[in-house]
Chain A
Amino acid sequence: MDEGMTIPGETVSTKAARVVDIAGLSLVFETGDGPVHALSNVDLAVEAGEFVSFIGPSGCGKTTLLRVIADLEQPTGGHLAVNGMSAEQARRARQYGYVFQAPALYPWRTIARNVTLPLEVFRLPKAEREERARRYLDLVGLKDFAGKYPWQLSGGMQQRASIARALSFEPKLLLMDEPFGALDEIVRDNLNLQLLRLWDRTQKTVLFVTHSIPEAVFLSTRIVVMSPRPGRIIDVIACDFPRDRTLDIRETPEFLKVAHRVREGLRAGHSYDE
């Protein structure tokens, strides 16, 4: 929308390092009330190691975009490549870990066995599964809760368990759909910080859907602002804070400047239906 916008395709790095490559992507749902343009002409390229947040009001297609990348929805037009493959090939090759809005833990499995669920599906040996459950539960600070059932944990702990589950098979790409949306502010800050450390340490690529401007600005290397009817990208904002940023940066003028620009973008998107 303004001079700072990243024009897709103009990024300098080579195509090989490109984790997600989207051009002219659209998705139209046919409903009883006529077609709904969930995504319209979306262009986006994500390089390895980036942390890209998608922000926008309900119905802007941010979750749909993530689901299309995950091959959980089929686009009706345009080009999409994940690690140079089609979305379906990438899903079949188990290239990404997906974290849903809710923890989506299986209630009849202990926390450790929830973490090993994908490993069982992938038929990893038992010793390896148990070792990884220990490692990743330790990473998200749930070492002492391995034998508990989901209902015995708080919402924040459950969501951490679901992150451990997504990490357990060590995908290079994490797709996270408002994972902390249902949590209170303090828990959310804490998990944001942990996620940032994890991303910094493991050099993963993260695509992160959120409603929260501070969360997006705090976590991201780039923020994609989206707008509804039709769902589209209206601004892409670079967010160049150091990788080892702390929660304190949220008080700095630079942070507030980026947050302000995100807010402006959201407001511009909203003005369509007023």
Chain B
Amino acid sequence: MTNDGRLVRILPVATVLAVLLALWYGAALPMNSGLPSFPQGGTLSERFLAAWALERPVLPAPHQIVAALWTATIETPVSSPRSLVFHGTITVSSTLLGFALGAVLGIALAIGIVHSRVLAASLVPWLVASQTIPILAIAPIVVVALGAVGVTGLVPKALISMYLSFFPVAIGMVKGLTSPEPMLLDLMRTYSAGRLQTLLRLRLPAALPYLFASLKVAVAISLVGAIVGELPTGGSAGIGARLLSGSYYGQTIQIWAALFAAAIIAAILVQCVALSERLTARAMGARP
């Protein structure tokens, strides 16, 4: 029974994965055969094997990326600039700092917007406008401007992450803080409860499910923000720097390995938020 259930869950995912891998391996030959370094002649199977083993392919084969990931994480010392753990740690640090700042800013803005009509009217259009500016345009300005006043390293990248991540938190929290039905708010009114009491005992707990939904989005785009923030620094450290240096030197396998590392980090971060969501829900007596 449980085995059947597991099979039912895994089978669709595994099928899609198998199809993707087949397409990927299949595409490697036409993508890579145009390269000057590609050996001429040979049978079809020889040509495929060659396409999957190039040092600088246009499209690396999946096993090459996995091997590069393995080398860059397990077989390389963490202190080495070739280690993806080294770069990943740097990126994750600014991601988490930016995520925390963004979450606090988003929650604070939402509380302000919910409680003050003036703030709602004056802030909301600016918040929306802030998200229409491409982050790729803002990021170099932030990094360069802060660099000019001597602020470098973690903080500029974290600010870019914050700039991206506060928005979903603010939007989700406004919705969450206004989610209690009128009867629950009336109840607080019959107790002559003030705004702070109503916020602490009703609005905030009611908003938590909305907050966690927003935090999952926020943590993922915080990572994007941190990586984008690493591009204009000229490739010193971080996943973004690794992507940049890979493209400078045509190291496609390195680029793909960094991309996969970013994806894996994003998945772990989102899962961490999901886990704290489950723990919170359990502590708050949610129906299992």
Query: By CB atoms of chain A within 10 A, which of B187, B189, B205, B287 has the most?
Result: B187
Other-chain residue from B189, B192, B205 in contact with A106 (beta carbon distance below 8 A): B205
Contact A104 B183 (CB under 8 A): yes
In whole angstroms, how far apart are the Cα atoms of A117 and B201 in the complex? 8
Contact B188 A102 (CB under 8 A): no
Known A98-B187, A104-B183, A151-B287: A91·B202 in contact at CB below 8 Å: no
Contact B192 A91 (CB under 8 A): yes
Name the residue on B nearest A113 (C-beta). Answer: B285
In whole angstroms, how far apart are the Cα atoms of A120 and B284 in the complex? 18
Known A98-B190, A121-B191: A106·B202 in contact at CB below 8 Å: yes
Please tell me if A272 contacts chain B, counting CB pairs below 8 Å. no
Please tell me if B193 contacts chain A, counting CB pairs below 8 Å. yes
In whole angstroms, how far apart are the Cα atoms of A117 and B205 in the complex? 13
Please tell me if A35 contacts chain B, counting CB pairs below 8 Å. no
Nearest CB of B to A195, in Å: 19
Q: Which residues on the A side are within 8 Å of B286 (C-beta)?
A: 107-108
Contact A106 B184 (CB under 8 A): yes
Report A108-150 CB contacts with B as 1/0, cut-off 8 Å: 1110000001101110000000000000000000000000010
Please tell me if A255 contacts chain B, counting CB pairs below 8 Å. no
Q: Which residues on the A side are within 8 Å of B192 (C-beta)?
A: 91-94, 121
Please tell me if A51 contacts chain B, counting CB pairs below 8 Å. no
In whole angstroms, how far apart are the Cα atoms of A207 and B206 in the complex? 30
Q: Which residues on the A side are within 8 Å of B285 (C-beta)?
A: 107-110, 149, 151
Known A121-B188, A121-B193, A151-B287: A102·B201 in contact at CB below 8 Å: no
Known A102-B183, A106-B184, A108-B205: A118·B191 in contact at CB below 8 Å: yes
Q: Which residues on the B side are within 8 Å of A241 (C-beta)?
A: none
- What count of chain A residues pass the 8 Å CB interface test? 26
Please tell me if B46 contacts chain A, counting CB pairs below 8 Å. no
In whole angstroms, how far apart are the Cα atoms of A59 and B191 in the complex? 27
Please tell me if B197 contacts chain A, counting CB pairs below 8 Å. yes
Please tell me if B186 contacts chain A, counting CB pairs below 8 Å. yes
Nearest CB of B to A122, in Å: 7
Query: Can you show 16 pairs from A to B with CB atoms below 8 A apart?
Result: A91-B189, A94-B191, A98-B187, A100-B183, A102-B183, A104-B183, A104-B184, A107-B285, A108-B205, A108-B286, A110-B285, A121-B188, A121-B193, A121-B197, A122-B191, A149-B285
Which 8 A-B residue pairings sit nearest by Cβ, starting from the closest? A149-B285, A108-B284, A98-B190, A121-B191, A121-B193, A104-B183, A92-B192, A118-B191
Known: A108-B286, A117-B201. 10 other contacts (CB 8 A): A97-B190, A100-B186, A102-B183, A106-B201, A106-B205, A107-B284, A121-B188, A121-B191, A121-B201, A149-B285
